[in-house]
Structure 1
Amino acid sequence: MVKKHAKNILIQSAKVVFSAGIIYWLVQSGKLNFSALKNFLSPGVAALGLGLILTNLFFVSERWRILIRSQGLPAHVFPVFKLSLIGSFFNFAMPGGVGGDVIKAFYFTRDNPGSKVVAVTSVLMDRILGLFAMIIMALTVMLWDIQHIVKTPALLTLFWFILSLFIVFCVALALIFSPYLYKREILKRVILKLPLSEKFMKLYESVHLYGKDGKRFFAVIIISLIAQVGTILFLYLAGNLAGFSEVPLNTYFLVAPLGFMATAIPISPAGVGVGQAAFYFLFNIYLGEQTEIGPTIITALQVGMFLISLSGAFFYLRRGDRTKASDIEQLA
């Protein structure tokens, strides 16, 4: 167990070094200019920006809450929101190999004994459907601006990639949620042939339940899209404050979902560093020129997210059943 903990610390340290290396390269090469964010220091502007981020986090929390309630468990707005804020804090300050999703699932189980399977699968479905909503948003905007897409080879490649992801997600969700396949036990027979079949079977049976309520499923997708819109409006505000007022709003709606997909890859804490690089290249590809807008606006968003997530640290410290992250990792 000590060896495992040491390994997780080493991995986390590597992630931090990786993030710092990207940020250093962007700053030294002039691709990230922190001075462009000084306009956010105005109290009114800062309040508006933080309000948009808080709105985004609230809708993301509601998405998770709907998934929990779809499994017949009580889940009230504010308690779930507090757990989401705690999870957001640990996405930035996660020691070892523990992330925000593990933390919030762990404490939901603490608050609701006997709900471990629902806590784990709801967090998993929350991530999957959140990513699916990003794909829907990106594909919709690409189709709306298809004339520009087909003229740019890199964007056209991205379009086919996003379209392929959309099809894969639709097929996978249809197979997992299908009552016909479940009753016939077709997928179960396939799973039984896999390594760790028992765990995969439990996961399949749990995830399948989320497809039984179509209204709640579509509500989760709609809430995800609303949350994305709030974040994109923040990025648009940041871009204009940083002096990039010539960049149209529709560009943000295309670049942001693609950039967020990159930050979802767990190779840096809270996507720091990866987000700057992804947004830099995506904006350059879409605009057809070198620009600082990508790293600048995602940095503003990450700073805002960190400030809001500090409230999660407050709620965590107020809990009377705090557990060390290393212990959570062993129990989760």
Structure 2
Amino acid sequence: MSMRPGPKAKNHIFTAFKVSLAVGLFYWLFQSGRLQLDELSRTFANWEWLLLAQVFFLGTQVLNGLRWKLLLRAQSIEYPLSSTVSLTLVGWFFNQVAFGSTGGDIYKAYAVARGCPTNPGGGIVSVLVDRAFGLLALFVLIIAAGILNFDFLRANPELRYLFLLSIGVAVALPIAAWLYFSGAVRRSRLIKVVFSRLSRYRLAGQLHEAIDAYRSYPKILWSSAVMSVAMQLLIVAMNVCLARTLLNDFDWLPFLLIVPAAHLAMAVPINPPGALGTAEALYAYLFELAGITLGGLIALLQRITFIAWSLVGAAIFVSRKHWSAVDLRYSANAEKAG
């Protein structure tokens, strides 16, 4: 008899690990004095900055919904902006409470695949590409911020390694995309054999066709890239506002490097839901490098913001559990193809 744990047991073990990680990190933060809740009283005197932070975060959700709408359009799937923004907020709710940092993507992929049964591969790929643009924007912003904060970067080897990694990824991903979409590469005998074998598997073939669809929409890809960077800048601006509720005088320039670096680590699937504990620990550690001792509290205010907006997503989810074809309008291209 095999003594290996089954899938359910593995899930329970992994969940227990995530919970233990979150509890352990919060214990360290409190014991080390890096999370002093009494300092939060300062936010009441600077509530206008807290309000402005909410505006910036809402901007990220609207831009995310718009980016996803365009990526869906390239798949001949047409959602109204109100639906993509609503689904984005529902996805944000799942990011905070379930599945870890990828919970929102899993929900969005499920919802759009269910709403568009004739093209589930296109819906799933749109979510994956949406995620890829978000991660690529983090790497690009880290590179730009590293140049602007060169002395700070040089003084901290940990960030210097991340800077070099970001350069590698930012160069490798566009090259990989170019190779994938290149007509010259596709004409090679080896690639033809690979693609022909993939087409034998229904799901793999659908995903390949869905990815291939973006070759015809370079403007959508460029627009998505620009919006992705804008979204990350809004996240940085939100964090600057949250810091302003706690501090009157600080240098905001390191935020351009620290916030994307922390969010990149928070995006790793091994994190607890909402990067609970890991976000606060990362902020406390990274902001100390810049001489800011309240990084853990900045992360805590960010978490309160995230939870508040996830409740909006939860309300949308409860009020409209089924995103059916009523919410989905096929584009003219899809109608012709049908």
- Judge same fold: TM > 0.5, yes or no: yes
Once the two structures are TM-superposed, the CA of residue 198 in structure 1 deviates from its matched residue by 7.0
Query: Kindly tell me: are residues 294 and 68 of structure 1, through their superposed partners in 2, closer, same or farther at Cα, counting changes over 3 Å?
Result: same
- Write the mapping of 1:267-286 to structure 2, written as runs, cut at 5 A: 267=270, 268-285=272-289
Distance in structure 1 (CA, Å) of the matches to 2:89 and 2:279: 20
Structure 2: runs of 5+ lacking an equivalent: 1-5, 324-338
Residue of structure 2 equivalent to 1:301: 302
State the SS of the aligned residue for 1:71: coil
Query: Kindly tell me: are residues 5 and 107 of structure 1, through their superposed partners in 2, closer, same or farther at Cα, counting changes over 3 Å?
Result: farther
Asked if 1 retains the 8 angstrom alpha-carbon contact of 2:101 and 2:266, the reply is no
The alignment-based identity, stated in percent, is 25
Letter in 1 for 2:80: H
State the SS of the aligned residue for 2:313: helix
Letter in 1 for 2:211: V
- Aligned pair partner of 2:175 in 171, 175, 193: 171
Asked if 1 retains the 8 angstrom alpha-carbon contact of 2:60 and 2:235, the reply is yes
Q: Deviations over 1:63-95 (max 9, x none)?
A: 211111111111210111111111111111216
Asked if 1 retains the 8 angstrom alpha-carbon contact of 2:109 and 2:123, the reply is yes
Once the two structures are TM-superposed, the CA of residue 184 in structure 1 deviates from its matched residue by 4.1
Residue of structure 2 equivalent to 1:255: 258
Structure 1: runs of 5+ lacking an equivalent: 323-332
Asked if 1 retains the 8 angstrom alpha-carbon contact of 2:56 and 2:235, the reply is yes
State the SS of the aligned residue for 1:243: coil
Distance in structure 1 (CA, Å) of the matches to 2:119 and 2:295: 41
Q: Deviations over 1:202-255 (max 9, x none)?
A: 434422322431111111011111111111111111112212622x22210111
Residue of structure 1 equivalent to 2:327: none
State the SS of the aligned residue for 1:99: helix
Is 1:142 the counterpart of 2:180 in the alignment?
no
Residue of structure 2 equivalent to 1:26: 29
- Write the mapping of 1:1-332 to structure 2, written as runs, cut at 5 A: 4-5=7-8, 7-41=10-44, 44-94=48-98, 99-184=103-188, 186-190=190-194, 202-243=206-247, 245-246=249-250, 248-267=251-270, 268-285=272-289, 287=290, 289=291, 291-321=292-322
Letter in 1 for 2:35: L
State the SS of the aligned residue for 1:176: helix
Q: Deviations over 1:83-136 (max 9, x none)?
A: 111111111121699822111221223333323112211111111111001111
Once the two structures are TM-superposed, the CA of residue 154 in structure 1 deviates from its matched residue by 3.6
Once the two structures are TM-superposed, the CA of residue 284 in structure 1 deviates from its matched residue by 3.1
Letter in 1 for 2:40: L
Q: Which stretch of the first structure deviates more once superposed, 306-315 or 29-38?
A: 29-38
Once the two structures are TM-superposed, the CA of residue 304 in structure 1 deviates from its matched residue by 0.3
Asked if 1 retains the 8 angstrom alpha-carbon contact of 2:101 and 2:267, the reply is no
Asked if 1 retains the 8 angstrom alpha-carbon contact of 2:49 and 2:244, the reply is no
Q: Deviations over 1:253-302 (max 9, x none)?
A: 111111111000012111222222222333333x2x5x433322122112
Query: Kindly tell me: are residues 119 and 35 of structure 1, through their superposed partners in 2, closer, same or farther at Cα, counting changes over 3 Å?
Result: farther
Distance in structure 2 (CA, Å) of the matches to 1:309 and 1:96: 14
Once the two structures are TM-superposed, the CA of residue 151 in structure 1 deviates from its matched residue by 4.8
Letter in 2 for 1:231: I
State the SS of the aligned residue for 2:76: coil
Distance in structure 1 (CA, Å) of the matches to 2:142 and 2:100: 33
Residue of structure 2 equivalent to 1:329: none
Query: Kindly tell me: are residues 69 and 136 of structure 1, through their superposed partners in 2, closer, same or farther at Cα, counting changes over 3 Å?
Result: same
TM-score of the two chains, using structure 2 as the length reference: 0.83
Distance in structure 1 (CA, Å) of the matches to 2:223 and 2:99: 34
Letter in 2 for 1:296: L
Residue of structure 1 equivalent to 2:3: none
State the SS of the aligned residue for 1:250: coil
